[in-house]
Amino acid sequence: MGKKFNLEVVTPDRIFFGDETEMAIVRTTEGDFGILHDHEPLVAPLRIGSIRVKQDNGAFRWAACTEGFVIVNDEKVTIITDSAEWADEIDLERAQKAKERAEHRLHIHKVENKDVDVARAKAALERAINRMRLYENK
């Protein structure tokens, strides 16, 4: 077993995760990367994707997350994200409804040329698809 480090995942309304782990994997704007004990200090932006936290039994626990930052320093690793939820806690029906709403907004914009915040609708669609994918692969 490798050495552990302190990992904290923070959202605006709570500390989502706070414990020691041997490894975490996050999705940054440059791709997925793993963090182990004594990782070089860095700050990197996160994309909509997943956080994988290695558990004591060697398996990874997956969480859906949105944009944010990962900060690695000598003391701990901090992930700051707008939202996070464990894959096994995702409300699939809610995610499907969010996907449908986002697709509808994009359709209205394209077909009816209505004023829609396209960037916001695309981000909502990406978040919903991410949550559905993680739920199905849990």
Q: What is the pLDDT of residues 31-90, one digit of tens each?
A: 999 999 999 999 999 999 999 999 999 999 999 999 999 999 988 999 999 999 999 999
Report the C-alpha gap between 21 and 13 in whole angstroms.
Answer: 23
Amino acid (one-letter) located at 56: D
Reading the block at residue 46, the tokens are 């996160």
Counting residues of the chain whose pLDDT is more than 90, the rounded percentage is 83
109, pLDDT greater than 90? no
Q: What is the distance, to the nearest Å, from the Cα of residue 92 to the centroid of all Cα atoms in its chain?
A: 16
- Cα angle for residues 31, 24, 98 (degrees, 5° grid): 65
Domain 5-87 listed as CATH 3.40.190.10: no
The β-bridge relationship of strands 77-81 and 5-11 is: parallel
* Cα separations in angstroms, 41 against 29, 44, 96: 17, 10, 38
Average pLDDT over residues 6-18: 97
Domain spans of the chain, in order of start: 5-87, 90-137
How does residue 113 score in pLDDT terms, banded at 50, 70 and 90? Answer: low
Where does 6-117 have alpha helices with state H?
Answer: 92-112
Higher pLDDT, 67 or 114: 67
Counting residues of the chain whose pLDDT is more than 70, the rounded percentage is 99
pLDDT of residue 1: 63
The mean-pLDDT minimum among 1-10, 20-29, 82-91 falls in 1-10
Domain 90-137 architecture: Up-down Bundle (1.20)
Secondary structure class of 104 (helix, strand, coil): helix
CB 75 within 8 A of CB 7: no
